Amino acid sequence: MAFTLPALSYAVDALEPHIDKMTMEIHHGKHHAAYVTNLNNAIAGTDAEKLSIEEICKSISKYPMAVRNNGGGHYNHSLFWSIMSPNKGGVPTGKIADAINAAFGSFEEFKTKFAAAGATRFGSGWAWLIVGADKKLAICSTPNQDNPLMDIAEVKGTPILGMDVWEHAYYLKYQNRRPDYMSAFFNVINWDAVTERYEKA
Ligand code: MN
């Protein structure tokens, strides 16, 4: 079965002023859509058509680069849309807050480390909050459209929060100011969705 572009659960302008409407339209409607189309073309007629995107990522070393780039692009963006929401942001509470405090000392310390992971990722890539094999939270980053589910990842785990730091994620509104985009991103994180992913991981 072919992969499909997931619909956004909010309007394209719902994340304004933090993430602008035109960026959302192009990012979701053009970039993510292209990853889906190219992934489907890359796996057409192969056994990968029967697998979930998570299964493909977990054994990505077996596949050609087109599957790695576009499969990663599809998984990463699907996660990205789902962990953002209007009228969210702020400070997490409950289980996820406890886990963040245990792993990083405080929410402020977590924010600093997560932003540093995004800022120091040279060129295009992603910053991640993951649940590791030890069930603890950790921060890492990946290049291009790689992600921590992939068997080739330097740091492996289950992603529960991801921040796209490709220029296409912020250039229209923030130009070269990646740090401004990253602090704006914190205003639209849907911590309920992150908590749900944390509980399943
Ligand atoms: Mn992107």
- C-alpha of residue 26 to centroid of ligand 1, in Å: 10
DSSP-derived pairing of the beta strands 125-131 and 158-164: antiparallel
- C-alpha of residue 58 to centroid of ligand 1, in Å: 20
- C-alpha of residue 59 to centroid of ligand 1, in Å: 22
- Rounded Cα–Cα distance for residues 160 and 154 (Å): 17
Q: Which amino acid is at 194?
A: V
67 contacts 60 by C-beta, under 8 angstroms: yes
Q: How confident is the model at residue 1 (pLDDT cuts 50, 70, 90)?
A: low
Q: Which of 30-39, 88-97, 143-152 has the lowest mean pLDDT?
A: 88-97
- C-alpha of residue 43 to centroid of ligand 1, in Å: 21
What global pTM score does this model have? Answer: 0.97
DSSP-derived pairing of the beta strands 137-143 and 125-131: antiparallel
- C-alpha of residue 118 to centroid of ligand 1, in Å: 13
pLDDT digits (tens, 9 = 90+) for 71-119: 999 999 999 999 999 977 789 999 999 999 999 999 999 999 999 999 9
The answer to whether residue 38 scores a pLDDT higher than 80 is yes
- Rounded Cα–Cα distance for residues 198 and 160 (Å): 6
Helix (H, G, I), strand (E, B), or coil: what is residue 125? strand
DSSP string, 50-72: GS-HHHHHHTGGGS-HHHHHHHH
Q: Which two tokens stand for residue 165?
A: 């730091």
- Rounded Cα–Cα distance for residues 184 and 89 (Å): 9
- C-alpha of residue 102 to centroid of ligand 1, in Å: 30
**Residues 168-196, mean pLDDT to the nearest whole number:** 97
- C-alpha of residue 51 to centroid of ligand 1, in Å: 23
